[in-house]
Copies of this chain bind each other. A is one copy, B any other.
């Protein structure tokens, strides 16, 4: 049994994974991933929280080039559609960005949501049915962090048609694909998110996203000390 408390190095390990995790698109190498590593990161995902302990996720491991070509085709179509929503110079900038590593990553991984698992009555899903999907996202994040600690880059491709994805992977009607991920060794983990480096958007300060007691409330007598701390909060990555 594990000790209940975390020593400083253990804490540092977790925070290091959180702050140095990146959405990887352009730094994949062709090196294959050890099966032991794949097993560990899937186990990490499977230990995510799930509403009513419903564990509503499935993991589809993909190497097949034919499947990947179909997905890449869907990406290209959807990406073109997206670019039509904006005007130059933003449009040219958008089209210059590398947004996926479907073909060059070692493996692809689709993480799906099955609303029927252990259902229809799932504890905690009766008032907010979307809670089942939220569980699957927590599994994605566990996997992403574990992959980072194992030196594996992960890129989430959301410029895709879910209908095409369902066809390519033979998903039944009731199964919802949540995340389509590209995984592989990388030449480097970028110091900052690509979109920050490219000047697309900046990271917000923590102070910009925290409220006290109610929406939009930035000053509250019961939270005086923490308001100072949060304002001084340094950006870690």
Which residue in chain B gives the minimum CB-CB distance to A56?
B209
Which residue in chain B gives the minimum CB-CB distance to A134?
B137
Residues of A in contact, count (CB < 8 Å): 120
Whether the pair B48, A141 counts as a contact (CB closer than 8 A) is yes
Assembled-state Cα–Cα distance A175/B214 (Å): 13
Collect the chain B residues with CB atoms within 8 Å of residue A150's CB: 6, 11
Contact code string A156-185 (vs B, CB < 8 Å = 1, else 0): 101111100000011110010011000000
Whether the pair B43, A206 counts as a contact (CB closer than 8 A) is yes
Whether the pair A151, B6 counts as a contact (CB closer than 8 A) is yes
Whether the pair B1, A213 counts as a contact (CB closer than 8 A) is no
Whether the pair B225, A35 counts as a contact (CB closer than 8 A) is yes
Chain A residues in the interface with B (C-beta under 8 A): 1-2, 4-6, 9-21, 23, 35-36, 38-40, 42-44, 46-49, 51-55, 57-64, 67, 78, 81-82, 85-86, 90, 94, 97, 99, 112, 118, 121, 123-128, 130-131, 133-134, 137-138, 140-142, 144-146, 148-151, 156, 158-162, 169-172, 175, 178-179, 188-189, 191, 193, 195-196, 200-201, 203-204, 206, 209-216, 222-223, 225-226, 229-230, 233, 236-237
- Residue contacts A-B, CB under 8 angstroms, 23 given: A6-B16, A6-B150, A9-B9, A11-B149, A11-B150, A13-B13, A18-B145, A35-B225, A36-B229, A42-B230, A55-B201, A59-B209, A60-B210, A82-B123, A99-B124, A123-B200, A124-B156, A127-B161, A128-B162, A134-B158, A137-B141, A170-B215, A175-B215
